[in-house]
Amino acid sequence: MNSETREAEPITSTVEHAKADAGTPGATETAGAEAGNGADCGTPQTGTEDGGHKAHSDRPVLIAAISVLVLCLGFVLFGVVRGTGDEDKAEPEVPTARVTYEVTGEGTANLSYQGASEQGTAVSVSGAQLPWKKTVEVPLGQNPVISITLGEQGGQARCAVAVRAQHVQSATASGEFGRATCSASLPAPAPEASN
């Protein structure tokens, strides 16, 4: 063919070529793709639908993730609400009795007495100047006690315990490193009525 013959051939469009090749197997898909009209040729599209929008295959995963998040948030809120409720319920205070310890004499002495500690720990006072007096609250069920120890100079000292202003016991320490102990007993607290 020479150049004159080529010019004489009629110009055909891509669609016309597709119609002409329609009898050839596989030509329909090619022609449809070339024409930009794949939906008309029956070619299934993958990954998109509705004009190029992504398919909704992620929807179940998203719903599951949101469900787990809501469940976790529910547990956290339950813990916060429950924790707040426990904080509002303060432990009931242990009832106490007023106890007065008194040490009379001259000079100094080392003292140890039961105070307002529920664990029963003693409070120590080294070299207390006599006379000495202290009033404390002692939990019911604990035994208020005071011990005195004199120094190497000796001397004489007397301890006394009063519960609710009622004298309970007294004792005397004398001589070098003399010792004495005074104690009382308090009733146990009444059991609380159950709600």
Q: Is the pLDDT of residue 17 over 80?
A: no
- Per DSSP, the residues of 39-80 read GGGTPPP-SEETTTEEPSTTHHHHHHHHHHHHHHHHHHHHHH
User: pTM of this prediction?
Assistant: 0.51
* Alpha-carbon gap, residue 35 to 15, rounded angstroms: 6
How many degrees, rounded to 5, is the angle at CA 63 between CA 62 and CA 67?
A: 115
Q: Which amino acid is at 141?
A: G
Per the prediction, the chain carries an average pLDDT of: 74
Secondary structure element (H or E) that encloses residue 3, with its range: helix 3-8
Looking at per-residue pLDDT, the higher value among 54 and 110 belongs to: 110
Query: Cα dihedral sign for 30, 33, 39, 44?
Result: positive
Tens-place pLDDT, residues 33-47: 444 444 444 444 554
Diameter over CA atoms, the chain: 147
71-107 pLDDT per residue, tens: 888 878 777 766 655 555 555 677 888 999 999 998 8
Two structure tokens written together for 73? 């948030």
Q: 16 falls in which pLDDT band (50, 70, 90)?
A: low
Question: pLDDT tier at 158 (50, 70, 90 boundaries)?
Answer: very high
